[in-house]
Amino acid sequence: MRFVRHPVVQYLAVAVVLFVALSVATSILSARVAATEARADARAVTVVLARSVAQPAIPKGLVDGNAGAIDKLDRQVLERLLVGDVRRVKIWRQDGTILYSDETRLIGAQYALDEEETEVLENGGTEAEVSDLSEPENRYETADAGLVEVYTRIRSPEGEPMLFEVYFSAEDLAERRAAVLAPFQRITIGGLLAMLVVATPIIWVLTRRLTRNARERERLLRASMTASEAERRRIARDLHDGVVQDLAGTAFSLTAVSRDDQVPSEVRDDLQRAGASLRTSLKALRSLLVSIHPPDLHADGLTAALTDLTAPAAAAHIESTVRVSDVGEVPDGTVALVWRVAQEAVRNAIRHAHADTLDVEVHRTDGHLVLVVTDDGDGFDPQADRDADSFGLRGLGSLVRDEGGRLDVRSTPGEGTEVRMEVKVP
Amino acid sequence: MRGRVTRLVLGTVAALLVAGLPSSVSASDDDEVRKGGSCSGGADWEMRARWDDDNRIEVRGEVDHTTSGRAWSWKIKHNGSVSAQGRAVARGGDFEVRRSLVDLAGTDHCVFRAVKVRTGEVCRGAIDW
């Protein structure tokens, strides 16, 4: 699957499809052009034979079926008519009598002319059509691939119109068509292949460069996250060991003093309020410390940690729920990863989603620990360009992949967001 | 003038006689038909017909035992119309002409006729193919 996603493979797949499509299209178009060209050649040959060879050599009397005239024409022009791809020659009289043919058994026979032939006899021009070999006039033809007949009008010395008909082998025309087609195919297919050959290494080099850059960026991102985490851990530890302890001590002292009977009651009330305020601030500070850096997490404490994570949702008027099924034995590293992904997803939901509900669920299924964070907020288009904030989940996705898991973000504008992480657990 | 008229009359009579005479030699086999006879003068004629390589009738007309150096006009007719004609000069006492005729439907009537220009001597043979 990863192989299929490789840009070079995708490029090659698209290129091959395009190559085949273009090859087929150009072949069809070229074949049409070549067929037209071959037929035009046949017409041109027929016209040249009619005007330059046959008509000047037609003796008087041929139009009357005079045997001597037939002999003269046969001796004078037969060799000059049966040239190149010409397979048969016939000269017709208007009444359908074959006055001359190189197939002498046809001479004198009479067949009905079709509409096109009559049209050419009456009005001139040149026509071409595939021969119907079942017609009696074609009974001596044996061409397997069929014949193409081209006919034009000539005149006898007496001025009578006659139909000069030349038969070409369809096989010969196909060969001629192939000869015309071959250069087209060489140009189009060769050009496409050359482009493919040139472009593939370029794409490959660019892809490698992009992949290297992406890896470097990920590495920097992870280094930055690690550094940030280390810094947060230090800050959290300093706050916990310093300010938090001091504040806790002060709150404890204030409470103790407020209970001293020797202190005036109005002062005791003030001291109690100050102590309560201090404890509230202490609680907020501890919550902040949890969000800055999680405590040493174990599977048993995951529910509490996630609940702490979603605590700020109430201030944003978001109803949050946390559900953790019996996940069993899970490595601490995996629990930490779940916590970090949940932290990022919850933070995004609270900051950007404008959601009414937020649901965090962790369960174990088929050897995988699954985290699903769902909100019913604004949603977004996952394919669209994202701002810098999105690097958080993207960077976490990299971490998840490193752990052999996968992270999917499914969202649609107006229909909320679901962040789903699956990590294999022993 | 009188001599010319006499020759013309004699020639015509001789031609009619020759045309009316049966051939003195007639032979044929599967490939060739051959006929021969005497002309109105002292010469002999021979006529042959056979298939050629292109499935045409090859007709050969020959005049023998005639005076060398004398001109003859000749014709080959096919079913009554002139298929070929020309002039020939006898060399070594004879001359020969050959032409191909198209084999038409039915019987092809082929005639070879030669006339000695100076004397009007007529040679004529016919073959039905």
Residue B127 to chain A, least CA–CA distance (Å): 15
User: Strands B109-116, B71-78: parallel, antiparallel or unpaired by DSSP?
Assistant: antiparallel
Q: Sort out which chain A residues have CB atoms less than 8 A from B105's CB and list them.
A: 105, 107-109
Residue of B nearest to A78 (CA): B54
Alpha helices of A49-91 — where are they, by DSSP H? 55-57, 67-81
pLDDT of residue A65: 92
Residue A70 has pLDDT above 90, yes or no: yes
Crossing angle for the helix pair A265-292 and A170-239, nearest 10 degrees?
Answer: 150
Alpha helices of A316-390 — where are they, by DSSP H? 332-348
The owner of tokens 């050649």 is A41
CB contact under 8 A, B84 and A71: yes
Give the residue from A220, A222, A208, A209 showing the smallest Cα distance to A397: A222
Contact A41, A225 (CB under 8 A): no
Q: Sort out which chain A residues have CB atoms less than 8 A from B103's CB and list them.
A: 104
For A249-290, give the secondary structure using H, E and C: HHHHHHHHHHCCCCCCHHHHHHHHHHHHHHHHHHHHHHHHHH
pLDDT of residue A387: 54
How far apart are alpha carbons A295 and A236 in whole angstroms? 10
Mutate to test the interface with B, among A60, A62, A71 (most CBs of B within 10 A): A71
Residue B1 has pLDDT above 50, yes or no: no
* More confident: A65 or B31: A65
Give the tokens for residue A175: 């060969």
pLDDT digits (tens, 9 = 90+) for A280-323: 888 788 777 777 776 667 777 888 888 888 888 888 899 999 99
Q: Does B58 touch chain A (CB under 8 A)?
A: no
pLDDT of residue A143: 63
pLDDT digits (tens, 9 = 90+) for B13-67: 444 444 444 444 454 556 789 999 999 988 999 999 999 988 899 999 999 999 8
How far apart are alpha carbons A230 and A224 in whole angstroms? 10
Least confident of A3-7, A124-128, A139-143, A193-197: A3-7
pLDDT range class, residue B7, cuts 50, 70, 90:
low
Residue B30 to chain A, least CA–CA distance (Å): 20
pLDDT digits (tens, 9 = 90+) for B107-126: 999 999 999 999 999 999 99
Least confident of A150-154, A323-327, B65-69: A323-327
Shortest CB distance from B78 goes to which of A67, A107, A108? A67
Shortest CB distance from A71 goes to which of B54, B83, B105? B83
* Mean pLDDT on A153-163: 93
For residue A32, how many other CB atoms are within 10 A of its CB? Answer: 12
Shortest CB distance from A67 goes to which of B54, B56, B104? B104
Give the tokens for residue B92: 């070594």
CB contact under 8 A, A74 and B56: yes
CB contact under 8 A, B103 and A104: yes
Residue B74 has pLDDT above 60, yes or no: yes
For residue A218, how many other CB atoms are within 10 A of its CB? Answer: 18
The DSSP string of A191-244 is HHHHHHHHHHHHHHHHHHHHHHHHHHHHHHHHHHHHHHHHHHHHHHHHHIIIII
CB contact under 8 A, A71 and B55: no
CB contact under 8 A, B80 and A75: no
pLDDT of residue B22: 42
**pTM higher than 0.80 for the full model?**
no
Q: Is CATH 1.10.3470 the classification given to domain B32-128?
A: no
* Mean pLDDT on A240-255: 86
pLDDT range class, residue A371, cuts 50, 70, 90:
very high
Q: Which of residues 242-281 of A touch B (CB under 8 A)?
A: none
Contact A408, A397 (CB under 8 A): no
Give φ, ψ of A145 to 5 degrees. Answer: -85, 5
Cα B108 to its chain centre, rounded Å, is 16
Give the residue from B66, B79, B81, B75 showing the smallest Cα distance to B119: B66
pLDDT digits (tens, 9 = 90+) for A200-223: 888 889 988 988 998 898 888 878
